Structure 1
């Protein structure tokens, strides 16, 4: 468990198709994922407006990427928030795959 910029406790939780972040037990946002062929594809991340500016997006993405690495999966960052985090944290580049046309087709069919 970590804290946001206000010092409030946060928790990142894995669910069936998303990771969620909670602040003081209240859900504040999520990042969706699709697992396929050893890859975890991240198409979308959202933080509720009332929680903006507290660093929750970074905490959420960091937790999601760490859990993805621990699961032995590779990351495909379709979501700009996830891609931006990886650009700033090169320690995740070794598990990152490019967004291919095949990935785009898969997401378009969802």
Structure 2
């Protein structure tokens, strides 16, 4: 759990990691504990340590507060700490890494482009 974060409106938020189900997520919560967004992922079954991010969403009423960006940055920072390779299927993650991939790598991160096999894994997990 990452506390001490502040969104663009100045409000405190927390990002939590939820791995309790077949689809895991980083979730962003308001100061009162209400969840208002999530960045969903699946971990690849191979022993290589890859995390496939496939969907990021923030409740519409909280748009413009930078919460999706907070989710992405926290998820990427956690992936670095866990020595995981990031695979961006989600357009939000892909766009962030196109813009900031060099900084992510300089910070110790590793990422690669998604393959059809990655998309197939996400499809199996989300339909299962």
* TM > 0.5: yes
Residue 10 (structure 2) pairs with residue 7 (structure 1)? yes
Larger Rg: 2
TM-score by length of 2: 0.81
Shift of residue 86, structure 1, vs aligned partner:
1.4
Q: Is structure 2 residue 107 aligned with structure 1 residue 95?
A: no
| Structure 2 residues not aligned, in runs of 5+ | none
Q: Alpha-carbon deviations, 1:22-45, whole Å to 9, x = none?
A: 121221100111111310000101
- The number of aligned residues is 110
| TM-score, normalised by the number of residues in structure 1 | 0.93
Q: 4+ residue stretches of structure 1 with deviation over 2 A?
A: none
Distance in structure 1 (CA, Å) of the matches to 2:94 and 2:26: 16
| Secondary structure of 1:42 counterpart | strand
* 2:38 counterpart residue number: 30
> How far off its partner does 1:92 sit?
2.1
- Of the three residues 41, 46, 58, the one matched with 1:47 is 58
What is the CA RMSD across the aligned residues, in angstroms? 1.2
| C-alpha distance in structure 2 between counterparts of 1:59 and 1:89, whole Å | 14
Match of 1:21 in 2: 28
Deviates more, 1:86-95 or 1:12-21: 86-95
Q: Distance in 1 between matches of 2:113 and 2:98?
A: 13
Long gaps (5+) in structure 1: none
